[in-house]
Amino acid sequence: MTVNRRMGPPGSAVWHQMLDGAEAILRDEGYGALTSRSVAERIGVKQRLVYYYFATMDELIVQTFRRLASREVERLEAALTGNNSLHEVWDVCVHTSDTRMVSEFMALANRMEPLREEVVAYIETTRRIQIAALEQALGKDLAARMPKAAIAILATSAALTLHREAAIGITLGHDEVMKVIEEFIAHYAPLKS
């Protein structure tokens, strides 16, 4: 027997505050600290209000990821339409949202099927945008020697690794990796004014 209960409106100010609270907890303390109680305390409401807006904590986590992913996709789509799309898409990859958040969501995606589906959709969407930027810049010449999807994976993996390592103080080799990628982009996609 399914009980239909009244739920708070998605997209309301309090709903967004709860997502903000969940993001902050994930970033500052990790997914182990993310509970309905911690979200409620973070934003100054009663714990039961969390379940007025979200049927489960899984739903809150999925919505938090969805909102974060949506912002990143918007940034990439805007970069793709610029005059220097490959440079701009790379800049978004290098200056992406907090890598701690990425790690936390990836860990949670291993345990939550709905989140896993969202993460897969997000990665595939962003990869298509990256491939489109590469196609605009490289054309078919380089594609015959190196698939654009492989280039996209290598570049975004490098960006993520640089972020993760820099967050804990590792910098050895970072300048060299950035130089290789930036020279590759400059060669195949000279800046336009």
pLDDT tens column, 69-85: 999 999 999 999 988 88
pLDDT at residue 143, as a whole number: 56
Confidence of residue 166 (pLDDT cuts 50, 70, 90): confident
Confidence of residue 141 (pLDDT cuts 50, 70, 90): low
Confidence of residue 3 (pLDDT cuts 50, 70, 90): low
Supply the DSSP symbol for 31: G
pLDDT at 97 over 70: no
What angle do the packed helices 99-109 and 57-80 form, to 10 degrees? 130
Residue 150, token pair as written in the block: 């492989």
pLDDT at 5 over 80: no
pLDDT at residue 20, as a whole number: 97
CATH number of 7-55: 1.10.10.60
